[in-house]
Structures are given as C-alpha cells and as structure tokens.
Structure 1
Amino acid sequence: MKPAYRVRSIVNVVNLSTPLGLLLAVAATRRTGGGPRLRSAGDGLLVAGGYRAPVPVATAFTVGNVILFRGDASGLLADPLLLRHEARHSTQYAWCLGVVMIPLYLACAGVSMALCGDWASFNPFERLAGLADGGYERRPLRPFLRGRR
C-alpha cells in the first residue's frame, strides 16, 4: 500500500470516521447468517455490500475508509470509476477531520440543490471526487440564477 493510503487509513481511524463507517455497515447491511460482509477494495478501503437503509439514496457512499454499497460488494469492485470516486471521498474524510465532513457535505448538498436542483453538481465534495466517476451529470444553474454571475 502506498504511504499516502496508509496515512489516510490511520487518520480515518483516529478521527473516528472509519469506526463510524463500520458501525453503519453492521447496522444497515444485510447478509444471510449474520453481520456485514466486508471486502477489501485495496488501498486500505473496505466495501460493505447490501446497504439497505433508505438514506442516502446513492448507490454507494463512503464513511471513512468504509464504502457502503446497495448491491453486492463485487458490483462496486467491478466498477473502477465509481470505486475511484468513493476512494476520493475517503481521502476527503481525512482532510475534513473525519465525521465533521458529514455536516459539511450535507450543507454543500443543500446549497447545490438550491442552485441547480440536484445534490451533486455544485457540491464541492462531489466535484472534487469527480462527478462523472460517481455517475453524476453536471447540471446548470437554475434559470433565474444564470444571469447573476
């Protein structure tokens, strides 16, 4: 593992974002015969398939170094663009002091929704993670805001 990914893993454990991600994986994933099935995605990332809570509505989302995925974990592992997008979110948790990223992300998502009608297009966390890699299309500003730049 590259030293930068090792540092990211350590920082995300210390800032409590990875433990929170593991707790979510235990609480909100389904697997026959017990708890979540965690699979390594490399670079210190873990994928928990079978996420079933109603929010967030995304196919995949990351908390610390844990990527929660609605389908089977192998589906995410077979999608290198989405995996790269989620890995960038993991790095953002290390930059943003861990769980502090959650309210920051939600605030940015709300601003993006107000500006263009979707959660991602003007959310800096999603833009820095790569909108296209995450399966998002960049939407323009709402019509009444376009002339006010």
Structure 2
Amino acid sequence: MTPVMARVRNFANWCNLSTPLGLVVASIGRARVVRGEDGIWLAEGYRLGFPMASAFTVGSVVLTAAPSWAQIESRRPGLLRHEVNHTWQYAYSLGLLYLPLYAGAMGWSWLRTGDRASANFFEQSADLALGGYEVAPTRPLAQGIAQLRGLVGHRQR
C-alpha cells in the first residue's frame, strides 16, 4: 500500500469517527496504544472480555488482549494483516455504519453456516484464512431459521 493511500484511509477513519471510537475503546479496555505501520494504532493488552476475539478492529485501531502484537503474530501469523484489512472496511462503510453492517453480516453467516465468520462478507473480504477462520459448510436457510427459533423458544421458557 502506498503511504498516500494509508493516509487517506486513516484520515477517512478519523473523520467518520471510527478511529476516535477505537481509541476510546482501547482506553476503556486499559490497552497500551502505539503507532504501527502505515499509521494504524496498535492496542495491546486490552482487558475487557468483549468482544470475544483474539483481535478486533475499530476504525484504524487494531486491538488485542495479547501483551504484544509481536507475540500474537508469532502464534497467529497474518492476523494483523487480516485486522488491517478491516480498517479499510471502516473507511468504505463510512465509519460507524460498519458496526450494524458487520452485525448483520455476522447474523447472516450464522444463519447460513452456524458460524459467525464463514459467510460473513466482511470476514471473507478481510481473508478468512489470515484471520484464523475455518470455512463451515453452507446449510439450508430453513435449517438456520429453525435453529434460531429453537434458541429463542428455549430462552422464553
């Protein structure tokens, strides 16, 4: 990626408020924040249990609970590249709009595969393999809906 494109992405994510939100999330999670390659923010040692992921991205801020990105990259090579791909998605999605779009894509993926990532457009576009995801087979939509109904019915009892 060219330095100009990186600056455009980071500027877009600052203006669309996703990077300021990411820095607030990192602060609330008491993460140590440093500048990374191409001007992204790397937050290490994130201490909140949500979301349940080894890493996640908000704007141009990439967060992990691991003590360092070097440590997580030694265990999961390519994970940082996967998360950096999400920084572009925030820019393309106009920032905070990414969050409900991602939630919808995650729900669709769960209905279609029983997995939150396999049929999630955003995870596929960020490279599922780099993110450490295995692809689950597609199931009939009716099967996913039936499973959802079972879960909802079980909770109402």
Q: Secondary structure at the match of 1:43?
A: helix
Is structure 2 residue 17 aligned with structure 1 residue 16? yes
Partner of 1:104: 101
Partner of 1:32: none
Amino acid at match of 1:85: H
Q: Which runs of 5+ in 1 are unaligned?
A: 30-35
Q: More helix per residue: 1 or 2?
A: 2
Query: Which of these residues, 86, 89, 112, is aligned with residue 86 of structure 2?
Result: 89
How is 1:1-149 mapped onto 2 (pairs within 5 angstroms)? Answer: 2-29=3-30, 36-74=31-69, 75-76=71-72, 78=74, 80-142=77-139, 144-145=140-141
Considering only aligned residues, what root-mean-square deviation do their CA atoms show, in Å?
1.7
Matched positions, count: 139
Normalising by structure 2, we get a TM-score of: 0.82
Is the CA contact 1:28–1:51 (under 8 Å) kept in the aligned structure 2?
yes
Q: Which runs of 5+ in 2 are unaligned?
A: 142-157
Is the CA contact 1:47–1:73 (under 8 Å) kept in the aligned structure 2?
no
Partner of 1:33: none
Larger Rg: 2
CA deviation string 1:7-62 (max 9, x = no partner): 00000000000000000000013xxxxxx311222011111111222221110000
